[in-house]
A and B are shown apart, each in its own frame.
Chain A
Amino acid sequence: MNVNPYLFMPELFTFLIIALLFVQAVGSVTMREKVGVWLPIMSGIGVVVALLSVGQEGLVFKGAYRVDPLSQFFKVAIAIGYFITVLNASRQPTLEREKRSDYFLFLAMSTWGLMMLASCVELISMYLALELSSYSLYAVIALRSKSKMAAEAAVKYIMFGAVATALALYGFSYILAGMHTTYLAELVQKTWTFEAAPMAVTGMALFLAGMFYKLALFPFHFWCPDVYEGTSNETAAFVATLPKLGAVVILIRLATMFKPGYDITTLLAVLGALSMTFGNLAALVQKDVKRILGYSSVAHAGYIMIGLVAGTAEGLAAASFYALAYVAMNLTCFWVVSRVSVDGRNLQLDDLNGLHKRAPALAFALAVGAFALVGLPPMAGFMGKLFLFSASWNHGYNWLIIIAGINTAISIYYYLGMVRHAYTKDEDAEVLMPDASTFSCVGAVFLSILVLGLGLMPSNIFDFALQVGTIMP
């Protein structure tokens, strides 16, 4: 078998990073501390590599691994996300110095798993990639120095993850029994109604549960706010964004079999509606910024469902675009959280008071990120929502769009709360001095520009995402 290595350059490059980190992790303590020097540069090169490999297409490993616009789009997004999270975590205050290289090693492993997940078109390889991306996170979440909460969060994540994995595997056996194949290309040609294939539909529902766990979609979201709260800010930034991309890409691959009107599609729509409503209502009463972001990500998982149930290429493209926008705006918010919390504590809303005086660039970035999450123009979130709505209107799930519209109104309050604290409240005496160094301000401004740019000039990226929507698995 001739395999062209150019097909999976991003994965290979990530593997190179893993190898280097491994060498460093088994080295002496002084050697381990130097990880912050070269890793940001390497992960930056990783983004370039991912961009260069856009346009590659091929089917390798006996048809289980597919390189196409969809996978490359998401690999770029994952590479960018990894780059930003590495920068974000490079000065983590709650991480012992000797554990640094291990920490980044696990993050890189998880990223590697997600990149492979973007290309898998066969259920078993999908499952393996998914597990690879989860295992590393089980270890990383607990890494917050001497914090009981972090240990609790890690246990929660593992327990939930184990149950979700078991469910997925169990459902997977049903699919295999019902459809006699694990290749998506063959699976999508079958009929997925409950009457025609009850066993396979049940199996698919269970298999999806594993994905929903990654995406933190209702009712598999219970771990989400607790884990974000328990783990360190920088780890939460990773867990909140990149695994979601992996889940979205799988759902997009599967989405060709969710035709509007099927039971399984309706199930997705109902879960989406419950997710946004529950996530937004629960976020209203939170005081901890990370818990707010946790519940908000539950709500946004629901929004992404709008694009998946439409059954159109535009819908899938809109879901991809929204996933990318979501990563950008969420990383912006987490960047601010990590920079303000200089001692690694969990931020309460009151800790943001008067931020605009202490660090105007961070306050501006927070405003951009929060308003983007609301869906206010001209930020990325607005365009994402507009595309989702436009792609899905009159495709059988209009009630879902109306619920999403009403949910936007609900969500204003708590997103605005963050901005309100940063801009209109006066700080207390013993307030945290945020990190207002050049590094933190430049990062904040860069991320704000990214979010605004996606909102003002979405045309090219959406056209690229549209290629994603027009391919079969």
Chain B
Amino acid sequence: MSTSRRDFLKGAGAAVAAGTGLGVPALGRAQGRPGVPAEPLKIGVLAIRAGIAAPVGTAGLRGTEWWAERVNRAGGILGRPVQLVVEEESNPKDTVERYRKLILQDKVEVVLGGISTGVTLALGPVAEDMGTPWLSWDGTTQKGVEETMPSTKWAFRSVDNEVEAIVAAMLTAKYFKGIKTVAGIGNDYSYGHDCWESYQAVLRRHMPDVKFVLGLFPKLGATDFTSHIASIQQSRADLLMCSFWSGDATIIMKQAAAVGLFKTMKGVFTTAGGVHDSLKKDFTPEGLLLGYNSMYFDDPKGSPLLKQFVREYKAKYNEYPPYECDHAYFCAESYKAGLEKAYAAAGQWPSKTQVVKALEGLEVESLSGKRSWREDHIQMCNFYQGITTHKNAYDFVTIDPLEIVSTKQAMKPSGTRLFDWISSWKT
């Protein structure tokens, strides 16, 4: 039974890959640059399209497909058309198998994608063995990285996921000065617990007198939080910090509104902006702190590239794009820039090692402005958070004022440990 299910998903993946590759034959002739192979450049993509993370996985894939179409319309990379080979990201074991298959059988030159913490931490050591660059969209938390990916040659990791909670704690101190007690809720896995620990550590630095009175961790995928909300009400906390990021963010917002939770307490949703267009005004109040991770679709100072992407995404999918599109676009665009940089230096189609070296420290224009790879292979970007407002043209909340915090401010420097770094702050 699991075989037929997997076959179905693989079939779906093949269909997407074929769809993306439809334009390839027409563009499939290199422009005659010296040392550039004529055949299409195969790029492997790992995307979750099933289960609770499907909305972000699908968004990442859409962002990559949009990038590939643009690149191919412009004549490819160094005249070489790109062809996406899409595989499903699921559990760590199966995803590792598909990752190997992409490299050994499909002969891709790079693998993009990976969202789940469990999967990315399993892929890290494998990427080092396979000797092919892997650029992760998302899904690396501090503890796991320290254990399985302390330093890498081939793996390029996402932003530390706790940054969302760290930025939220900084802004909590700025916007909710009077609070004395805080309750927290997050999913019962590493991300939920790590966010809560990070949030507490940072808020303690800014507001030493704040008490953390309750920490709740329902299991990932739960759809009923009425009892949790009752418990939060009983705690009489001044503020609720929530790190839900999928459909559960919408559910808790709705169930909280039904009992008037945010009439008596403040709310901080570190990354619920990932499902922003489901946070309808009907049940999402103004005055909450809401995080959008690395791209805010409605940024008034957004680049023409962002505006074009949002416009075309909305026209094609009838949705407004979430942040994962930006992580995915950045990975793909930086690989293109890395190839071009390495080619310029080598004078011929570069080796994988040359591409990896070119990527280190590279900065490119992404959907949220300039983004770069730190020398230790970690994404750098800006985080977008702000206070929810109903004053917009949508039926869901947006944020105003908009706060932009860079990873230089909110992510631990290379070679340090997170909580040591937070403890060293002068506030």
Are A and B subunits of one complex? no
| Residues of chain A whose beta carbon lies under 8 Å from any beta carbon of chain B | none
Residues of B participating in the A interface, judged by any CB pair closer than 8 Å: none
